[in-house]
Structure 1
Amino acid sequence: MPTPPRGRGELFEATDANVSDFLSRAKITRDSKLSATFKTSLGTIQCSLFPDKAPMTVANFVGLAEGSFEWTDPKSGEKVQGKPLYDGVVFHRVIPNFMIQGGDPLGTGTGGPGYRFDDETANGLVFDRPGILAMANAGPKTNGSQFFITVKDTPHLNGKHTIFGSCDLPVVQEIVTTPATRTKPNDPVVIEHIQIERK
C-alpha cells in the first residue's frame, strides 16, 4: 500500500467553506478542465485532473504545483510562499507492477506540506485500470502533498485513497522499472516541474 506522509499540522475538513477556500486559492472551479504535465528527469507524464470529483484534492495539488498554497518546508520548518512544492522533488518509491510515489519534499516518504486535509473517496472513482493518480496517506484524513500513479488495476485501494486524476503510462512504466534498493530508485528520478493547464 502506498505509504504516507505522517499526518502533521492543521487538518482541513472537506466542509463547503474549506473546499471553496481551496478552490479559490488555486484559482480553479469544480467545472475547470485541467491537465498536469509532469516534467521529470526520465521524460514527460501527461495527466487529466478531476476537480468535479475531488475538488479539494485537485485544488491542493494545483496550489502546491503552482506555488499559490503556503506550505512548511519540513527540513527548515520555515513557511514557504510563492514557490512550487513539487519542483525538484523525487519519486522516492517505486514498486514494479504496482505504482510510483512522489511529492515528499524530504524524499523519504515521511514529509509533507505541514498540514493535512480530508479524504474525497466517496466520489464514484475506483482503481480499475492503470494510470490512476491518487493521494498517498497514513490513514483517514492524512492527505498532504504525496501522491502515487498506478501501473495496474488495484481494487484493494478502493475507498482508502482519494483518486483525483488519470495519467498516460509510457514514462510511468519506465520509472516503475528503474533499478531500486528497497523501493527507492538507485538514481533519483526528479520531478523538475509540474505545469498546470486550464483549458
Structure 2
Amino acid sequence: MIRALLLLTISGALLAQTTQPPAGAAPAAPAREPGLYATLNTTLGPIVVRLFEKEAPATVRNFVALSRGGKPWRDQNGQMVKRPLYPGTIFHRVIPRFMIQGGDHTGTGMGDPGFIIPDEFHPDLKFDVPGRLAMANAGPKTSNSQFFITEVPTPHLNGLHTIFGQVVEGQELVAKIARVPVGANDKPRTPVRLSSVTIKREGPAPAAPAKRKPAPAKPKPAAPAKK
C-alpha cells in the first residue's frame, strides 16, 4: 500500500513537471478584449490602458495623435512642432491614495501646448473604480495634453474631468509612483519619466456607423397660375 502511494506521488510529481511552465519562464499575458490600448512606458515599468474610443472619441483621438506625433503643439520655444509630445515628460504631481498626473511638456503643470479640446462626459463613465485615465484641466473646456490616472475611486471628480481610459495592467505601478518621495507641489524628487507611449489595437477596428440615406426631396409647390 505504501509502495502504491509512493508510486502515485511520483507519478503526480512527474505530471506536474510536464504541465507547469519551466522555472523562470514569464507568465503568459492575460488575453485582452478587442479595443484600442495605450502602453505608457515609464522608468518604473509599463502601464497598459484601454482607451474608450466610443465614449470619448475626440479625447482619444487627441491622446493618440500626441502619442504618435500626428498633431501640432507649441514647444517651450513657442514654436509649433509636430512630433510625439509625451516621450521624456514626467509625472509632475503625485498624491498617494489619489492620483498621478503627467503629460505636460514643460514638467511644471503650467505648460500650454497651444490648443484645447472639448470636454466629453459619458453617463456610463464615473470615477467609481481605481485606474481611471482622465484629462487634467483648469476648468470647463480647458483640456489639452495633461492627464492623470487615479489610484482609488474619486467620485468627487465626476462631471469635472473627461474619462477616456481604464488601466488593465500595471495598476500597482500607479500606487508605486504615487508614493515616491516628493518635494514642493507634490513633485517627485527623482523624476518618473515616460519614455514612450505605444498605441496598439487588439482585434478588428470597430465598424463605422452606417450612413443615413438622405431624405427624399419634397416636391416644390407649383407656382400660382396667372389669372
Q: Give the TM interval when normalised to the shorter protein.
A: 0.7 to 0.9
TM-score normalised according to structure 1 size? 0.81
Which runs of structure 1 show a deviation greater than 2 angstroms over 4 or more consecutive aligned residues?
none
Instruction: Indicate conservation of the 8 Å contact 1:49/1:58, yes or no.
Output: yes
Structure possessing the higher radius of gyration over alpha carbons: 2
Q: Please give the alpha-carbon distance, in whole angstroms, between the structure 1 residues aligned to 2:132 and 2:122.
A: 16
Please tell me whether the aligned partners of residues 129 and 152 of structure 1 are also in contact (alpha carbons under 8 angstroms). Answer: yes
Aligned partner of 2:64: which letter? V
* Relative contact order higher in (CA < 8 Å, ≥ 6 apart): 1
Higher strand proportion: 1
Q: Distance in 2 between matches of 1:188 and 1:49?
A: 26
Compute the displacement of 1:153 (Å). Answer: 0.3
Query: Secondary structure at 2:49's aligned position in 1?
Result: strand
In 1, Cα distance between the equivalents of 2:123 and 2:199? 22
TM-score by length of 2: 0.71
Distance 2:194 2:43 in 1: 7
Correspondence for 2:42: 40
**Which residue number corresponds to residue 63 of structure 2?**
61
CA drift of 1:116 comes to 0.5
The amino acid of 2:200's aligned partner reads E
Q: What is the rounded CA distance, in whole Å, between the counterparts of 1:46 and 1:122 in structure 2?
A: 22
Structure 2 counterpart of 1:197, from 181, 200, 220: 200
**More displaced stretch, 113-122 vs 61-70:** 113-122
Supply the RMSD in Å over aligned alpha carbons. Answer: 1.1
Amino acid at match of 2:107: G
Q: Is the contact made by 1:53 and 1:123 (CA closer than 8 Å) also made in structure 2?
A: no
Unaligned runs of 5+ in 1: 1-31
- Report the Cα distance in structure 2 between the residues aligned to 1:33 and 1:113, rounded to whole angstroms: 28
Q: In the comparison of the two structures, how many residue pairs are matched?
A: 166
- Check conservation: 2:56, 2:122, Cα contact below 8 A: no
Q: How high is the sequence identity, in percent, across the aligned residues? A: 53
SS of the residue 1:45 aligns to: strand
Cα drift, residue 113 of structure 1: 1.9
Q: Which amino acid aligns with 1:193?
A: S
Aligned match of 1:80: 81
The equivalent of 1:184 in structure 2 is 187
Alignment partners' CA distance in 1, 2:130 and 2:113: 27
- The answer to whether the 8 Å contact 1:93/1:185 transfers is yes
Consecutive unaligned residues in structure 2, runs of 5 or more = 1-33, 203-227
